[in-house]
Amino acid sequence: MILRFLGPFFCTLFAATGAYAQASDMPLLEENFAYPAGALADVSGGQWKSARGESAIAARDGGVSIPGEAAAENYLTRAFAAAPAGSAIEATFRLRFDPGAGESAAAGEAGVFFQFTSADGKQRRGRIALRLAADGTARLGVTSRASGDVTWADQELAPAEDHTVRLRYDGVVGRTSLWINPSAATGDTPPAAESTDAGAVAPARVSLQQSARPGAPDLRLADLVVRNASSGAVGGAAVAASASPEAAKPAAPGVTPPPADRFHVFLLIGQSNMAGRGVPEPEDLVSDPRILARQLDGRWVVARDPLHWDKPHAAGVGPGLSFARELLRSLPADASIGLIPAAFGGTGIAWWQKNYDGPQRWSHGETYYRHALAAARAAAAQGRLAGILWNQGENDQGRARADGGESYRRQLHALIRDLRADLAAPDLPFVAATLGPWHAEKAQVFNATVLALPNDVPHTAVVDTLAADVVGRLANKPGDPAHYDTPSNRLLGRLYARELLPLLSR
């Protein structure tokens, strides 16, 4: 009787103090797909149910695989906790698409792969689709209802890279909004694409869909979270942390670099194989006080993998640390090395141009070129800027085949010229690398373009990944044809040091 009497009082107290409001911020659904490998409808214990047809959507390795083109459209749904009346629903997840399918399939719409549905699963709203381009990249788009009426975002997405996606559906007005790789509350950032349909519904389920359209790629989706977007937890800390470089790594104690004449500083730029996707092993966690890494706030810390913060959920072992360890063997005993991590996975060389003004940027708004330039300038004030390491091209090999490598050659030369001019270092060493040997057949034109660099541009060198003494020692991660495995990253770093050393002595 006493509890029954005091119940309303406690509810009022909780609401007044914010405790009740905090409870409303809890996710409506958290799905990490931690099921045994197999068809999702079979291994999820009834959580995911078939809504149309036989589905090949499967759980595997902490994610869900949505295979490419199906014989007929089919989809699965899962219910989430009821949302307050009149609220908007928001889903966040990580998405990757398979580069092999994108390069071999005809360009075109690959169709809807995720959506919200009504309680009975029949009315689908707040839908997101993926469309392939001829060069293997893709774009995302949204539609509030009709799958043939998609509003496409401007951003190009690279294959074989995780992309953070945020999808919001407002069931009152029927509006669907999309953010790609967001870094802060969506209320502060315009959506990448938006669509509205008058036939709004109250969503009660999420749905994964397998497309029957020609050329559909294989997709992987992980870390799905559904929230009430009106709760004040818009976007949620988990999404911001996964996309924001400022939140990527815990703060480490800063150290004072050695005198400038003994501090050799190197800029590390390119895409994911420079940032590193290798799985750290015990030897990768051993630090050397003579190798420092620059942080976003300008501090220097003792370097440890992962060096980069482009995509914290994916960042791992790259070539940077092994490059520094190998180079130190040839420098005076009192020398130290400073590494400037500035690579970003999935980037095309066009996005690294000085004059680039498109939407592909760091989450805090800087272009990749401006971010790298500012960091290099700041580091050069504390040491001797001694070189640039560049590893990039998976996102451009298709373009190179299309035009004989001419556009890549032109843009690579412009990048080197602009960096040297803006850093007031006309002879600054620059070392690039060809693509991993498993790319050899498709990357012939691209690799030939890169190998010509030392003949075209002074004070440059190239790591030839197809050289006789290394080709059999470089390998991709199992099941990940875009990225080097951990031992190969270490070897790649040593090869960078081998190629750069002669440039330092000139």
Residue 181 belongs to a domain with what CATH number?
A: 2.60.120.560
Q: Does one domain contain both 63 and 168?
A: yes
Q: With 90 as the cut, is the pLDDT of residue 294 above it?
A: yes
Q: Does one domain contain both 302 and 433?
A: yes
Q: Does one domain contain both 356 and 478?
A: yes
Please identify which residue in the block is written with the tokens 């790629």.
217
> Does residue 407 lie within any of the structural domains?
yes
Residue 55, CA distances (Å) to 58, 65, 126, 145, 384 in order = 8, 11, 21, 22, 58
Q: Does one domain contain both 154 and 197?
A: yes
Going by pLDDT thresholds of 50, 70 and 90, the confidence category of residue 8 is very low
Residue with more model confidence, 226 or 198: 226
Q: Average pLDDT in the 354-373 region? A: 91
Q: With 80 as the cut, is the pLDDT of residue 68 above it?
A: yes
Q: Does one domain contain both 277 and 210?
A: no
For the stretch 264-273, pLDDT in tens is: 999 999 999 9
Going by pLDDT thresholds of 50, 70 and 90, the confidence category of residue 468 is very high
DSSP alpha helix (H) spans, 351-405: 368-380, 397-403
Going by pLDDT thresholds of 50, 70 and 90, the confidence category of residue 2 is very low
Residue 172, pLDDT score: 84
* Contact call for residues 100 and 481 (beta carbons, < 8 A): yes
Please identify which residue in the block is written with the tokens 């914010």.
18
For the stretch 18-43, pLDDT in tens is: 333 334 468 999 999 999 999 999 99
Residue 183, pLDDT score: 63
The domain boundary, picked from 199, 215, 240, lies at 240
Q: Does one domain contain both 260 and 398?
A: yes
Residue 439 belongs to a domain with what CATH number?
A: 3.40.50.1110
Residue 237, pLDDT score: 35
Going by pLDDT thresholds of 50, 70 and 90, the confidence category of residue 167 is very high
Q: With 70 as the cut, is the pLDDT of residue 325 above it?
A: yes
Residue 254, pLDDT score: 83
Residue with more model confidence, 453 or 60: 453
User: What's the CA angle centered on 255, arms 432 and 269, to 5 degrees?
Assistant: 15
> Does residue 33 lie within any of the structural domains?
yes
For the stretch 111-148, pLDDT in tens is: 899 999 988 888 889 999 998 887 778 899 999 877 66
Q: Does one domain contain both 441 and 419?
A: yes
Q: Considering its fold, how many domains does the chain have in total? A: 2
Which of 79, 67, 81 lies closest to 111 in space, CA to CA? 67
Q: With 50 as the cut, is the pLDDT of residue 57 above it?
A: yes
- Burial (CB count <10 Å: 0-12, 13-18, 19+), residue 44: buried
Q: Average pLDDT in the 286-290 region? A: 94
For the stretch 92-109, pLDDT in tens is: 999 998 755 444 445 565
Q: Does one domain contain both 374 and 351?
A: yes
> Does residue 13 lie within any of the structural domains?
no
> Does residue 7 lie within any of the structural domains?
no
For the stretch 308-324, pLDDT in tens is: 988 887 889 999 999 99
Q: Does one domain contain both 452 and 305?
A: yes
Going by pLDDT thresholds of 50, 70 and 90, the confidence category of residue 185 is very low
Residue with more model confidence, 34 or 250: 34
Going by pLDDT thresholds of 50, 70 and 90, the confidence category of residue 45 is very high
Which range of residues forms the domain containing residue 314? Answer: 252-504
Q: Does one domain contain both 312 and 208?
A: no
Residue 109, pLDDT score: 59
Query: Whole-prediction pTM value?
Result: 0.76
The domain boundary, picked from 198, 219, 240, lies at 240
Please identify which residue in the block is written with the tokens 């939140």.
247
> Does residue 115 lie within any of the structural domains?
yes
Q: Does one domain contain both 332 and 475?
A: yes
Q: Work out whether strand 108-117 and strand 124-132 pair parallel, antiparallel, or are unpaired.
A: antiparallel
The domain boundary, picked from 240, 267, 293, lies at 240
User: What's the CA angle centered on 192, arms 187 and 194, to 5 degrees?
Assistant: 85
> Does residue 202 lie within any of the structural domains?
yes
> Does residue 340 lie within any of the structural domains?
yes
> Does residue 360 lie within any of the structural domains?
yes
Q: Does one domain contain both 235 and 256?
A: no
Q: Average pLDDT in the 77-105 region? A: 78
* Chain centre to alpha carbon of residue 152: 19
Cα separation, 126 vs 350, whole angstroms: 32
Contacts with 247 (C-beta within 8 Å, 6 or more apart), sequence order? 240, 241, 312
Per DSSP, 439 falls in state G
The structure tokens listed for 339 are: 């590494």
Cα separation, 105 vs 146, whole angstroms: 24
Computed over every residue of the chain, the mean pLDDT equals 85
Residue 230, pLDDT score: 63
